[in-house]
Every structure is written in C-alpha cells, then in structure tokens.
DNA sequence: GAGTGTATCAAACACTTGTTTGAAGTCAAC
DNA sequence: GTTGACTTCAAACAAGTGTTTGATACACTC
C-alpha cells in the first residue's frame, strides 16, 4: 500500500502530458491509469471524478511553471528596456517554446484558448500578473502620458508575438521547413520581439509627443 | 425525397458551428443530425463517416472565407504601407474577429492550432498565400537588402498580433471587462497593428542601414 | 492478534459513441 | 403501372466511456 499523496502525485504527473496532448475530452481514464500503473478506480477514489483530476493537473501546471521559471525581479534603476527583454525571455520560456517539461506550457496554452472551469483561477493567478507587470514596464518606457487603452494594445501586441510560436507552431514548421525552423530558439525570438517592440515604441512615443505638442 | 446535394450542404452548414465550438471529438453525430433535421444515418450515407464530414466542413470553411473576404488586389504604384494596412484588415476580418458567419474563423483557427488531417491542404491553400503576400509587401517596405530570415520574423510578428485577438479572446475579455472589450473592433485593431508594425519597421530599417553603412 | 481506517483491485454497471442494417419511401424513365 | 436507382428512416449493434461496487490487502493502534 502506498501513501495517498504518492498516488495522487503520480496520477497528476501522468495525466498532465496526456491532457496536454489530447485535451480533456479525448483523454480516457483508462489510458491515464494504465500509464500510471494504478488501478482504474484510483482516479475516482483520489479525485472524485475525471474533471477534478484535470483541474488538479492544470493547477499543478501553473504552480510548476511559476516555480521553475519565475518572473524576474530587478534592481531599482534597471532600464525598462532591459526589463522588457527579461520579461519576454521568461514568457517565451514559460509557454511559447518547448521547455521541459513540455506538457506544462502546452496545457496552459490549451486553457488559454479553450477555457474550462479552470479559467477564472487561471486569469487571476497567471494572466493578470503578467499583464500588470508588462503594464508597469510600459509605463516606465512610455511615460505617464500614454493612455491606458494604448498600453493595453501594446501589451497584446507583445503577448501575441510570443504566443504565436506556440499556437501556430505546426504551421510555422510546415511553412519554413525543419532546418529553418530549428533555428528558432528562445534567444533569437526574444531578441527579435524585444527589438521589434522597442522600435515600435520609440516611433510611437515620438508621434505621441508631436500630437500633444504640435510643432 | 430531397436531392443529395441539399442534404450534404445542410449537414456541412449545421456541422460547421458545432465542430467550431466543441472540436471534432466532442461533437456527436447525433447532435449534428438532430439540428440538421436529417436522419442519423445520413452522415454515413453521404460522407462515409464522421471524419469525412469534418474534412468537408473545414474545406467549405476555407472556401467560404476566401470568397467572402478575398485578399485585396492593388493598383500598380500603391504604397506598400497602404497594402500592409489592407492586408491586416482582411486578415483580422477573416479569422481574428467575429465576422459572420462566426464559425468559419473559429474552425480555421482550430485547425491552425491542433491540425488534423486537413492540415496539409490548409497550409497550401490558406497559410502559404497569406505568408507570401505579406513577404511581398515587406520586400517593398524594407528593400531587397533585408535578409529573408528577418522578413519571416516580421511576418510572424504581424500574424501573431492579429491572431492573438482570436486565440486569447476569452482571456482578453476577462482581463479588460466587457465594456472595454466592446471597443475592440476591426478598425481599431487594424490601425493599431499597422501603426505598431510600420513604426517598428521604420526603426529597424534605419538600424539596418546604419549597420550596413557605418557612419 | 483482533480491530480499524485506508488503499488497491477485478469486475460489473449504466451510458454514450459511431456505424450498420434492412425495410420503406420517393421520384423519374420506360 | 412497373421497374430501378436513390434517399430516408427506425432500430439495433459493437465498442468505448466514466463511474461504482464489494472484496481484498495492507499498516497501524490498542
């Protein structure tokens, strides 16, 4: 007889990759219990039902993600451009590229696109902190005069660029071919997205000023 | 007795929204046949099996999308910045926002993220033409000296910004609240993404030149 | 060592799934 | 009117689904 916690943990870590690959619906409790080498009834015994196991798995994914790749903390006085680069690198590592364990990023993005009942918890614990950290960085970059609506659009432009390499990974692979695709590591993408964004902000900030203080 | 083509068409148009909302696996042939008001066996009779109906639905979605919102054609001499704005507007209308009929964009993006056997056809007929049109516009915008790898990254930055409003729609809604979210129409998004991209390209082009022709 | 709470196990259960079947209906051609 | 090809229909089928059950095995307490 094993401890209850052992079996729970083994079920979660076995179910994670399967849920991430196939989604909740297409995953069967039989496959999970066989791969975890536990009895079929264990899932219901320890979690109640399949959905509760799924929610526990998503929760575990979020926690593990934040532990393994924490949001950076900066010394006071760190230039905001450097902060932006740090944030984008962390974000790409977290969800956009295949960081070990692979399934965590996959499961999180699955929840992003087709939210289940885990959604509220997810926005609160995951999306919102990222959103606000980016907003803070943009405040420093753009100054206080830029309206919040504009900052929001810029935030989504940044996140959108990062997530694209997760969502459309199969299509990108098909478009570029395997050898070109292999070059796309975190560093390359992070440098590009940071440079692209900073370049855009530089021009936007200049335009913003010319609008506010016309010639 | 109805004509064979009538029933086929009705099945496709009924199945489309359901597949788009729930995905292939979670959609049942019983729901489709009931909503289409045809007999349960009709799906197998007319399409062979459920998967063939799905493939036909995806195919129909792609065709409808290209017919209703065709890629723009421009007079010779049209400034590339204007082309870029036109392209982004079309792309947002096609997949990113809820253009009627809603399910077409949803189904297409579903296929983008979790490609099924319809994927190859999809890249060839849909993704590749968009990719090459954007590449052409960027050639005009950036000049011939910018390496293809750089153009690819810019393309993905543009597409990523657009698709984000489709993929992360629920999260964006949760982050902003309904009243702020309601402001996000195609025009606003298209203007922002175009301005953001052109601003970035302006700076990148300048840097590219300074690197190539140092002081 | 009997008793107790807990975890595991094989088997069965109730239900849903996609698919098949054979009869019945429908329309056009002859 | 009969034939024949095509379509629809209700019913059944076989396989797979999540869940429940009652028995069994284990570790610990008294």
Residue B115 (CA) to nucleotide C15 (C1'), in angstroms, measures: 30
Cα B196 from Cα A205, distance rounded (Å): 11
Tokens at residue B137, please?
């516009």
Task: Output A95 or A41, whichever has higher pLDDT.
Answer: A41
The answer to whether A161 contacts B160, with C-beta atoms less than 8 Å apart, is yes
CATH of A4-64, one of 3.30.470.30, 3.40.50.1380, 3.30.420.40, 1.10.10.60: 1.10.10.60
Contact criterion met (CB below 8 Å) for B20 and B103: yes
Q: What is the pLDDT of residue A10?
A: 96
Mean predicted confidence (pLDDT) in B162-186: 93
**A115-127 as b/e: b if 16+ CB within 10 A:** beebbeebbeebb
Q: Does A127 touch chain B (CB under 8 A)?
A: yes
Task: Output B2 or A121, whichever has higher pLDDT.
Answer: A121
Mean predicted confidence (pLDDT) in A80-95: 95
By Cβ distance, the residue of B123, B160, B201 closest to A175 is: B123
Q: Does A80 touch chain B (CB under 8 A)?
A: no
Q: What is the pLDDT of residue B121?
A: 82
The whole-chain average pLDDT of chain A stands at: 90
Q: Quick one: what percent of chain A has pLDDT higher than 70?
A: 94
Q: Within 7 Å: CB of A42 and strand D?
A: no
Q: Is the pLDDT of residue B79 over 50?
A: yes
Mean predicted confidence (pLDDT) in A189-214: 76
Q: Which of B104, B215, B92 is nearest to B161 (CA)?
A: B92
Q: What is the pLDDT of residue B215?
A: 30
Of A110-119, A202-211, B153-162, the range with the lowest mean pLDDT is: A202-211
Q: Is the pLDDT of residue A1 over 70?
A: no
Mean predicted confidence (pLDDT) in A84-104: 90
Mean predicted confidence (pLDDT) in A78-104: 91
Q: Is the pLDDT of residue B62 over 60?
A: yes
Q: Is the pLDDT of residue A209 over 70?
A: no
Q: A142-180 pLDDT, tens per residue?
A: 988 889 999 999 999 999 999 999 999 999 999 999 999
Q: What is the pLDDT of residue A214?
A: 32
Q: Is the pLDDT of residue A78 over 70?
A: yes
Backbone angles phi, psi at B29, to 5 degrees: -65, -25
Task: Output B2 or A128, whichever has higher pLDDT.
Answer: A128
Residue A207 pLDDT class (50, 70, 90 cuts): low
Q: Is the pLDDT of residue B164 over 50?
A: yes
Q: Is the pLDDT of residue B69 over 50?
A: yes
Residues 6+ apart with CB under 8 A from A57: A12, A15, A16, A19, A107
Q: A32-45 pLDDT, tens per residue?
A: 999 999 999 999 99
Domain ranges in chain B are 4-63, 69-212
Q: State in words which class domain A69-212 has.
A: mainly alpha
Please give the sequence-ordered ranges of beta strands (E in DSSP) within chain B, or none if there are none: none
Residue B30 (CA) to nucleotide D11 (C1'), in angstroms, measures: 15
Residue B214 pLDDT class (50, 70, 90 cuts): very low
The answer to whether A195 contacts B180, with C-beta atoms less than 8 Å apart, is no
**A90-102 as b/e: b if 16+ CB within 10 A:** bbbbbbbbebebe
Cα B109 from Cα B120, distance rounded (Å): 14
Of A181-190, B96-105, B145-154, B176-185, the range with the lowest mean pLDDT is: B96-105
Comparing B4-63 with B69-212, is the CATH topology the same? no
Q: Which of B141, B138, B128, B126 is nearest to B69 (CA)?
A: B126
Residues by Cβ under 7 A, strand C: A 1-4, 6-7, 38-42, 45-46; B 1, 27-30, 40-41, 43-44, 49-51
Q: What is the pLDDT of residue A215?
A: 30
Q: Which residues of B touch A183 (CB under 8 A)?
A: 149
Mean predicted confidence (pLDDT) in A110-135: 87
Q: What is the pLDDT of residue B207?
A: 66
Of A127-131, B2-6, B22-26, the range with the lowest mean pLDDT is: B2-6
Of A66-80, A96-110, B134-148, the range with the lowest mean pLDDT is: A96-110
DSSP A58-108: HHHHHHHHHHHSPPP---TT--HHHHHHHHHHHHIIIIIS-PSSHHHHHHH
The answer to whether B167 contacts A195, with C-beta atoms less than 8 Å apart, is no
Tokens at residue B49, please?
């099996």
Q: What is the pLDDT of residue A131?
A: 95
Q: Which of A168, A164, A162 is nearest to A197 (CA)?
A: A162
Residue A4 pLDDT class (50, 70, 90 cuts): confident
Q: State in words which class domain B4-63 has.
A: mainly alpha
Question: What is the number of other CB atoms lying within 10 angstroms of the CB of residue A3?
Answer: 8
Q: Is the pLDDT of residue A21 over 70?
A: yes
Q: B83-107 pLDDT, tens per residue?
A: 999 999 999 999 888 777 889 999 9
């Amino acid at each position: 007889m094993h401890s209850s916690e052992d079996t729970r943990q083994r079920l979660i870590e076995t179910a994670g990759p399967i849920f991430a690959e196939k989604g909740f619906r297409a995953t069967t409790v039989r496959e999970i219990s066989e791969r975890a080498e536990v009895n079929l009834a264990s899932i219901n015994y320890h979690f109640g039902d399949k959905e509760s196991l799924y929610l526990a798995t998503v929760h575990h994914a979020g926690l593990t993600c934040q532990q393994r790749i924490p949001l950076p903390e900066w010394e006071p006085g760190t230039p905001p451009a450097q902060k932006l680069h740090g944030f984008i690198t962390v974000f790409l590592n977290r969800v956009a590229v295949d960081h070990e364990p692979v399934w965590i990023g996959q499961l999180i993005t699955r929840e992003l696109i087709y939210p289940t009942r885990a959604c509220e918890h997810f926005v609160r614990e995951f999306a919102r902190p990222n959103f606000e950290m980016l907003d803070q960085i943009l405040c420093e970059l753009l100054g206080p005069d830029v309206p919040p609506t504009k900052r929001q659009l810029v935030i989504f432009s940044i996140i959108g660029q990062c997530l694209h390499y997760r969502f459309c990974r199969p299509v990108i692979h098909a478009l570029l071919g395997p050898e070109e695709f292999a070059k796309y590591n975190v560093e390359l993408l992070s440098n590009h997205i940071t440079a692209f964004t900073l370049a855009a902000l530089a021009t936007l900030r200049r335009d913003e000023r010319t609008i506010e203080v016309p010639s």
